[in-house]
């Protein structure tokens, strides 16, 4: 995730540094001190893949990797944004903010937040913002939602807006969907805004009801490794659209609003109504994946963290064989982690690249990381980025 070559996994927790970088960026670009700093994390999905658009269940948690925005209000109604990932600040006013797509590139995520707030009737204060981040960009850990949430938190507080945090995920999602034009579900924004340390967020994508589920790795002596496969995303957009269309068509044939409405007990009967083998496999993935999320939630409620491992691995097999969204790099990471003693491992995210997570004994984390790195070298893949993570807090003001 950073340009590390050493195999050993490193803990992902240096919040001070990223906050200091945001402040330094603010001072350098704008002069003076920021009025405050607001942070939002990346996220990883523990289980529940391609269930969101089927009205099903997901179980993400917020990461200790964070995006920090140092910000101050200004007197006029303009917004200047700078990120350490870009050379020059970008400035825009109400005309650009009120027309989705007018601000392009990374600053569009910021303009989208201004737009979504203004469209909802809020008086957004003009502001100068400086963004620094430890969340890897484009690896499937939701750096985009982290930017949206940190900017949203900053603007809400700078403007004294009366906007409770349970409304933030929907607003941030609209920024990404309707201003930037990137289709995403509600999972990313929910996880990075509502995540809580030591917990995973059980989200019902139909009702948007969330529940904090204890996910206490430390007490269990466990760790989660996140392996960035560094696989180039191959045809991911088209394949995503095809999976989605296939699920929607299957629901139509089965006469249900969404595949969420097919229970595991009714799966065989449902599959008999589908003539095409590929569609049957897609349906089997979604239906069994929803059940796996529910099963993992039940195990976590009773503190049986280690016992979730086989369900994680079963999720991976389902994505590989039935949903057909894995690639050799992620399969290699999963197989190597399991062979090195992981309790469970799976690809996380939409597929065709992205990250793998593995549940391991905390003291085995370095050995499992080394095994994955060795397997990559053997296959001639670019070295993976590997981090150990634990569930962290959602968006908040830092100081």
**Residues at the interface with Mg ion (CB under 5 A):** 142, 144
137 binds ligand ADP (CB under 6 A): yes
Residue number, 113 or 300, with CB nearest to Mg ion: 113
17 binds ligand ADP (CB under 6 A): no
d(CA 108, CA 211): 31
d(CA 275, CA 48): 26
Kindly state the smallest distance separating residue 184's Cβ from Mg ion, in Å: 6
d(CA 358, CA 315): 12
Residue number, 52 or 295, with CB nearest to ligand ADP: 52
SS3 label, residue 107: helix
Residue number, 144 or 315, with CB nearest to Mg ion: 144
Residue number, 36 or 214, with CB nearest to ligand ADP: 36
Kindly state the smallest distance separating residue 146's Cβ from ligand ADP, in Å: 6
80 binds ligand ADP (CB under 6 A): no
Kindly state the smallest distance separating residue 366's Cβ from ligand ADP, in Å: 26
Partners of 36 in the β-ladder: 71
Q: Taking CB under 6 A as the rule, which mask of x and - marks residues 99-128 in contact with ligand ADP? A: -------x--x-------------------
Kindly state the smallest distance separating residue 67's Cβ from Mg ion, in Å: 12
Partners of 228 in the β-ladder: 355, 385
From the CB of residue 32, how many other CB atoms can be counted at a distance below 10 Å? Answer: 9
Which member of 80, 143, 315, 326 binds ligand ADP (CB under 6 A)? 143
Q: Taking CB under 6 A as the rule, which mask of x and - marks residues 147-186 in contact with ligand ADP? A: x---------------------------------------
Residue number, 112 or 309, with CB nearest to ligand ADP: 112
- How far does the chain reach from its first CA to its final CA, in angstroms? 27
Kindly state the smallest distance separating residue 143's Cβ from ligand ADP, in Å: 3
Residue number, 137 or 163, with CB nearest to ligand ADP: 137
Task: State which H helix or E strand residue 244 sits in.
Answer: helix 236-254
Which member of 80, 144, 318, 326 binds ligand ADP (CB under 6 A)? 144
Q: Name every residue whose Cβ is closer than 8 Å to that of residue 390 and which is 6 or more positions away in sequence.
A: 64, 197, 198, 217, 218, 223, 224
131 binds ligand ADP (CB under 6 A): yes
Phi (first) and psi of residue 258, to 5 degrees: -160, 165
Give the CA dihedral 81, 113, 142, 13, nearest 10 degrees. Answer: 60
> How many residues comprise the chain?
399
Binding segment (CB under 6 A) for ligand ADP, from list 139-147, 167-175, 294-302, 305-313 = 139-147
Give the one entry of ligand ADP, Mg ion, none that residue 241 binds, where binding means its C-beta sits below a cut-off of 5 to 8 angstroms depending on kind: none
Judge residue 248's burial from the number of C-beta atoms within 10 Å of its C-beta, 0-12 exposed, 13-18 middle, 19 or more buried. middle
22 binds ligand ADP (CB under 6 A): no
216 catalytically annotated:
no
Task: State which H helix or E strand residue 72 sits in.
Answer: strand 60-73
Angle at 240 between CA 360 and CA 40, to 5 degrees: 55
- Of the candidates 55, 188, 228, 322, the residue annotated as catalytic is 188
Task: State which H helix or E strand residue 201 sits in.
Answer: strand 199-204
**56-75: which residues touch ligand ADP (CB under 6 A)?**
67
d(CA 45, CA 202): 10
Give the one entry of Mg ion, ligand ADP, none that residue 83 binds, where binding means its C-beta sits below a cut-off of 5 to 8 angstroms depending on kind: ligand ADP
d(CA 185, CA 225): 25
Give the one entry of Mg ion, ligand ADP, none that residue 137 binds, where binding means its C-beta sits below a cut-off of 5 to 8 angstroms depending on kind: ligand ADP
Check: CB of residue 282 under 8 Å from CB of residue 323: yes
318 binds ligand ADP (CB under 6 A): no
Binding segment (CB under 6 A) for ligand ADP, from list 31-39, 87-95, 131-139, 385-393 = 131-139
Task: State which H helix or E strand residue 118 sits in.
Answer: helix 107-119
Enumerate binding residues for ligand ADP (CB under 6 A): 67, 83, 85, 106, 109, 131, 133, 137-144, 147
Catalytic residue list: 188
């Amino acid at each position: 995730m950073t340009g590390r070559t050493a195999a050993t996994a490193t803990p992902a927790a240096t919040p001070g540094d990223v906050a200091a970088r945001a402040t330094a960026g603010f001072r350098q670009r704008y002069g003076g001190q920021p009025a405050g700093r607001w942070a939002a994390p990346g996220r990883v999905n523990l289980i529940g893949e391609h269930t969101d658009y089927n009205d099903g269940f997901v179980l993400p948690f917020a990461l200790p990797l964070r995006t920090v925005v140092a910000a101050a209000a200004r007197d006029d109604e303009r917004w200047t944004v700078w990120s350490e990932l870009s050379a020059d600040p970008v400035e825009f006013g109400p005309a650009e903010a009120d027309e989705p797509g007018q601000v392009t590139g990374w600053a569009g995520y910021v303009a989208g937040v201004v737009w979504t707030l203004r469209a909802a009737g809020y008086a957004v204060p003009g502001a100068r913002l400086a963004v620094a981040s430890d969340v890897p960009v484009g690896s499937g850990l939701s750096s985009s939602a982290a930017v949206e949430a940190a900017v949203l938190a900053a603007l809400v507080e700078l403007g004294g807006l009366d906007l409770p945090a349970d409304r933030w995920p929907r607003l941030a999602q609209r920024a990404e969907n309707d201003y930037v034009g990137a289709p995403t579900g509600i999972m990313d924004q929910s996880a990075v805004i509502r995540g809580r340390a030591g917990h995973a967020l059980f989200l019902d994508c139909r009702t948007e009801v969330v529940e904090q589920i204890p996910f206490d790795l430390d007490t269990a002596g466990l760790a989660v490794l996140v392996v960035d496969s560094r696989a180039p995303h191959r045809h991911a957009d088209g394949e995503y659209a095809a999976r989605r269309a296939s699920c929607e068509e299957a629901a139509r044939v089965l006469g249900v609003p969404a595949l969420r409405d097919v229970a595991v007990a009714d799966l065989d009967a449902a599959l008999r109504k589908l003539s095409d083998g590929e569609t049957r496999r897609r349906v089997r993935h979604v239906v069994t994946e929803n059940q796996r999320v529910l099963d993992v939630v039940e195990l976590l409620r009773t503190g049986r963290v280690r016992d979730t491992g086989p369900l994680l691995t079963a999720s991976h097999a389902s994505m590989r064989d039935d949903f057909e969204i894995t690639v050799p790099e992620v399969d290699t990471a999963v197989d190597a982690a399991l062979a090195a003693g992981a309790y469970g491992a799976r690809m996380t995210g939409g597929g065709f690249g992205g990250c793998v997570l593995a549940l391991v004994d905390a003291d085995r984390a370095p050995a499992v990381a080394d095994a994955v790195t060795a397997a990559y070298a053997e296959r001639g893949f670019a070295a993976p980025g590997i981090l150990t993570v634990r569930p962290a807090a959602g968006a908040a003001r830092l100081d």
